[in-house]
């Protein structure tokens, strides 16, 4: 059964959340352009066909076909996915290697994971969900150690400190952006 309207609502809702999160940390262009490829025929039609509402349709497509054409299309066009940053190794004993991701894409990946957790967990969402999902899947990721440390730092901070403080910290301390008239996380801690 095809679920065109439901899938459209889900990806649009997800993009809206990512945009809000990206804007909160100062990544305006990334917030506006995040996941636009999900509206392409390759990704959208698979999403409508395998839509379930509580998890990625790419997982269902993978179970049905043995691979996800939508995911292969998506990861090659969106730099906030760790899979985009995998390359052949120059070391003959290691076929593939994770490349360190630019910080702005690690932050966008954080925003994406946060929005995905909110989208799929709905009313049951907690700030620990993105961290728990990451830890459950971490063993099969090919992720550069510096990228992993930065992502984990943000996920742990979200879990322990909440969204507002984490966004402020990311904006000020990770991305080096400031808001005139707004207090930084370090300034807020002193209050």
pLDDT at 182: 54
pLDDT at position 12 over 70: yes
The pTM of the full predicted model, rounded to 2 decimals, is 0.91
Name the phi and psi angles at 14, rounded to 5: -60, -45
pLDDT tens for each residue of 62-102? 999 999 999 999 999 999 999 999 999 999 889 999 999 99
Nearest to 154 by CA among 185, 187, 190: 185
Domain boundaries, the chain: 4-189
Q: What is the three-class DSSP state of 107?
A: helix
pLDDT tens for each residue of 168-189? 999 999 999 866 555 554 554 4
Kindly calculate the radius of gyration of the chain based on its CA atoms and give it in whole angstroms.
Answer: 17
Instruction: Give the Cα separation of 175 and 103 in Å (integer).
Output: 8
pLDDT tens for each residue of 14-36? 999 999 999 999 999 999 999 99
Distance of CA 81 to the CA centre of its chain: 7
Nearest to 29 by CA among 175, 158, 182, 150: 175
Cβ neighbours of residue 47 closer than 8 Å, sequence gap 6 or more: 7, 10, 11, 38, 57, 58, 70
């Amino acid at each position: 059964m095809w679920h065109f309207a439901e899938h459209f609502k889900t990806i649009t809702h997800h993009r809206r959340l990512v945009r809000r999160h990206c804007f909160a940390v100062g990544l305006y262009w990334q917030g506006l352009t995040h996941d636009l490829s999900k509206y392409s025929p390759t990704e959208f039609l698979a999403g409508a066909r395998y839509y379930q509402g509580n998890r990625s349709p790419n997982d269902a497509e993978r179970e049905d076909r043995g691979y996800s054409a939508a995911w292969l299309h998506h990861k090659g066009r969106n730099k906030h996915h760790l899979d985009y940053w995998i390359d052949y190794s120059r070391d003959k004993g290691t076929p593939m290697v994770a490349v360190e991701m630019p910080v702005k894409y690690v932050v966008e990946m954080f925003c994406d994971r946060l929005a995905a957790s909110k989208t799929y967990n709905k009313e049951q969402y907690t700030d620990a969900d993105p961290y728990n999902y990451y830890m459950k899947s971490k063993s099969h990721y090919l992720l550069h150690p510096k990228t992993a440390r930065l992502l984990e730092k943000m996920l742990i901070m979200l879990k322990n400190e909440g969204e507002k403080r984490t966004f402020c910290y990311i904006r000020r301390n990770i991305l080096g952006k400031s808001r005139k008239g707004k207090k930084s996380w370090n300034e807020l801690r002193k209050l």
